[in-house]
Structures are given as structure tokens and as C-alpha cells.
Amino acid sequence: MLIMFHPKHFLDLIMSDLFDQFGLMDGVMKLLGMELEKRRWIFVISGLIINICLGAIYAYSIIQVPLKKLFEAPPPEGYGLKVTATEMQLPFSIFLAFFALTMPLMGKYIERYGPRKIAMLGGVIVGVGWFAASFATSPLALVFLYGVIGGLGVGVAYNCPIVTSGKWFPDRRGLAVGLTILGFGFSAAIIGPLMDYLTAFYGVQNALRILGAMFLAIIIVCASILRFPPADWRPKGWTPPAAAKSFATDFMRHEMVKTRTFYGLWLCYTLGTLAGLMAIGVSKPVGLEVAKNIGLGEAEISATLTALVIPFACCNGLGRPLFGWITDKIKPMGTAVLSFTLISIASMLIYSYPASIAVYTLAFAILWLNLGGWLAIAPAATASFFGMKDYARNYGLVFTAYGAGAVAGNLLVGQVKDVFGSYIAVFPYIAALAVTGILLAIALMRPPMMKVRIHE
């Protein structure tokens, strides 16, 4: 029999639900004798591993160094280009922008096709992006091959494990989502040293190819077990909190955007991620500035500042389950106020003690911690305020605040550096924005009130 090949058939094959067709996942679980309450933790672990692969973008500052040397090296070892620091920063910014813009568009597809298929598709794109980056011959080429393709892939896959954990853990949603996205923040601590090792032995181009193939394989394997719980499933012994009878607990996206709560959450999310993403982008330059104030040269302190990326990344990763757990305990508004208070304290510490490596380390650990925190606060708050019925699309829209924070933070720190000649001069502005965040959280991050819809 002649089979006509068509691209659509290939896509269907790649995204085919083999685990559902053959019942492999259910068979394994039944063989292990696992009940749903225990089985659901496997989805959290799978999502954590997926996010380690997706979060490798936070190791870009380490990848950037050997790539810049490659572009500037004379032929035949390199491409003989003159490359500025701004040009090398563009792939990072474009990656985050495409990530933030793509993720909101995927909500309806996650609900329609399920998290497994969409996450697998995203994994393929992520792997292709990293692999393709090895062929970049200039920063502009890297913007497209790494920034655009890689950012699209992460945007496609990112929300799949988050939505899955949120649906399986209505009783401990903040903790489950925080653990799921822990991998994204912790990724730099794993991928950074791995990238250094691979580059030292195989060169930066081969290292990118190895990572691309590795990410593709790992994401596809972990995504293949993702699935939503049965309709109306709830953990044994858990009863949903009683909702006010005259108000709806589930908001569709067009209803969510009519509430003050949405705008309060979006603005607070923007301010919270602005501080953290700015800290990631200038961690080493600020450290060099502090060292210069002490009288240390770059050669003396550079290795130490690079090594600090590992504990900073650990703080970023641990901030997710920590703040997710706190959100479960004191609700989104209280957690937001706590986060902004810490950001304000950290900012004033580094500004007040510009010649202390210890204060620099403490302040940046807090800022990285709170970036991770907001990536748990916001999804948990979205579910808490607007329900799970349209969660994928709702959080997708809320997540655009991450992109806004990334752009605003980088613009702010760049402008302050240009005007005042110092990165440290930006921190009073960050502290002021954090105080603004406290006021916004108190005023607007409250459960929305909407009359019950007669017809869905």
C-alpha cells in the first residue's frame, strides 16, 4: 500500500499520544501500586527536569564569553569581527522577549491538545535552537538562531508542566508549582559548569551541539508522561474552600482582564521580575564595581564573581518552592509585600555599602531569590484569584509581565549607568519601585469579585 507523506502526517507522528494509546504510563503506575495522590508527584519531578533544560538561558553570561572570543578571533580560528558588549547582550534580551511573548499564546493549545504534546513540540524547538546556535558566525546570527528559535521553544514548553502541577495539586498548588519551576532558576548552577566543561574539552560550538541534542532528548522523555487529572478529580480528604455563593470562582481570560486584581498582579509581577532580571544581567559588572571600590583588579576577583553565579542560581531556584509555600500560608498579597520588602532592603544595602563583597553577595542572593519567588507567586496567585478553568490562558497573559520586567530592568540599569557612570547608582530606584510594589499589592492584589455567570 502506497503511503503519501505529508508534513502534517509528520507532525501528527511526532505529537502522537503513544502513552495513552498503549496505556504504558498507567501500566507502569499500576505495577508500582501507586495511588493518584502519590502518582501526581511524578508530574512535579518531570516538570522540574524539563525546567532545568528550559532555564539554561540563565547561563547565557557563561556561554557569551567563549562565543565573543570566537567571533573576534582572526580566521581560520574565528570570524575576525569587532563585537561590542551590547551586541553580545542582544541574544539574551531577544530570547527572553520571545519567551514572554510566545508563552501567552500557548494556553489554548495546552488545553486543547494536552501538556504532553505541546511540551514535546517545545522541546524539539529548544533543542534545535541550541544546536543551531553553534553555526552562528556573528552576534546578529546568534540573535536569530539562539534568541528567536530558543526563545520560541521555551515559550511553547514552559507553561505545560506548570499547568499540569496546578491541576494535580489544588490542595498545595503554591508548593507544587514552586517545585516544578525550581529547575528553571536552578538551571544555571548545573548548565553553567557543564558548559565550561564541555567548552574546555570540545570547543564552544560542539558544546552547543551536545547541549542541544541533550535538551531535546530529555524534554521529550519527561514531557511524554505529562497528563491532566481526570475531570473533577480531587485529592482524598481534601474539600475545596467554600466560595461566596453570589460570585464566580473561575474566570475566563476576557473576564479576568476586567478586574482590578489582574492589573494589580500584572504590575506587581513586572516590578518583582524587573529587580531580579536586572540583577542577573549585571551581577558580574556590579561585582567588579564593588571590587574596584575596594582596590581589587578584575584579574584578582573575576573567578570569584563567576563562581558566585552558582549560589545565586541556587537562591533563584529555591525561591520558587519557598515563596510558593509562603503563598499557600499567607496568601498572594502578603507574600508580595514580603518580597518587595526584601528587594528594598537588598537594594539599599548594596547602595549603602558599595565597597563590601560580603554585602554585595548578600544583596544579590536576595535579589535572585526574589526573582525565583515571583515566578512562583504569580502562577499561584493567578490560580487562587481566577481559578483553574482557563488557567493556561490566564497565566499566559499574566506572564507577559515577565517580558515587561526584563525590558524595563535592562533599560533602567543601562540608562543609569550611562548618566551616572555607575551600576550601583540604580539601586535607590529599585528600592523606590519596590515600595511602589508594596502599595500596589495592598491596594489591588485582593480576590476579585464577579457575579455568577448564568450561561457559560
pLDDT digit string, tens, across residues 391-401? 878 888 898 89
Grid look-up 528553571 returns 184
Q: Provide the β-strand partners of residue 247.
A: 451
Longest dimension (CA), the chain: 78
Most confident residue range from 2-11, 66-75, 302-311, 439-448: 439-448
Closest CA to 160 of 91, 228, 242, 246: 228
Mean pLDDT of the chain: 83
What does the block give as the cell for 284? 558580574
- Of 367, 364, 326, whose CA–CA distance to 173 is shortest? 326
Residue 9 clears pLDDT 60, i.e. is over it:
no
- Angle (nearest 5°) at CA 318 between 316 and 322: 120
Backbone angles phi, psi at 90, to 5 degrees: -60, -45
Task: Please report the pLDDT score of residue 12 as a whole number.
Answer: 46
> Which cell goes with 121?
513540540
Q: Which of 73, 72, 95, 102 is nearest to 85 (CA)?
A: 72
Segment 375-412, tens digit of pLDDT: 889 988 998 899 888 887 888 889 889 888 887 876 78
- Whole-number Å distance between alpha carbons of 133 and 113: 29
CA 328 to chain centre: 20
Res. 451: pLDDT tops 50 = no
Cell of 7: 508534513
CA 195 to chain centroid, in Å, comes to 19
C-alpha span between 171 and 264 (Å, rounded): 25
Write out pLDDT tens, residues 191-240.
Answer: 888 888 898 889 989 999 999 999 999 999 999 999 888 877 777 777 77
The one-character DSSP state at 57 is G
Cis peptide before 76 (omega within 30 of 0): yes
pLDDT-based confidence at residue 13 (cuts at 50, 70, 90): very low
CB 251 within 8 A of CB 448: yes
Q: Which three cell numbers stand for residue 381?
A: 496567585
Which band of pLDDT confidence, cut at 50, 70 and 90, is reported for residue 19? Answer: very low
pTM above 0.85, yes or no: no
User: Which residue has better confidence, 366 or 83?
Assistant: 366
> DSSP character for 68?
H
User: What is the C-alpha to C-alpha distance for residues 283 and 281, in angstroms, rounded to an integer?
Assistant: 6
Phi and psi torsions of 258, nearest 5°: -90, 0
Share of the chain above pLDDT 70, in %: 88
Residue 451 sits at φ, ψ, to 5 deg, of -65, 150
DSSP tag of 250: -
8 Å CB contact between 217 and 140: no
Domain-wise residue ranges, the chain: 40-230, 247-451
Amino acid in position 2:
L
Q: Which CATH architecture has domain 40-230?
A: Up-down Bundle (1.20)
What is the DSSP annotation of 328-369?
HHHHHHHHHHHHHHHHHHHHHHHHH-TT-HHHHHHHHHHHHH
Which has more confidence, 276 or 118? 118
Region 247-451: CATH code: 1.20.1250.20
pLDDT of the residue at 393: 83
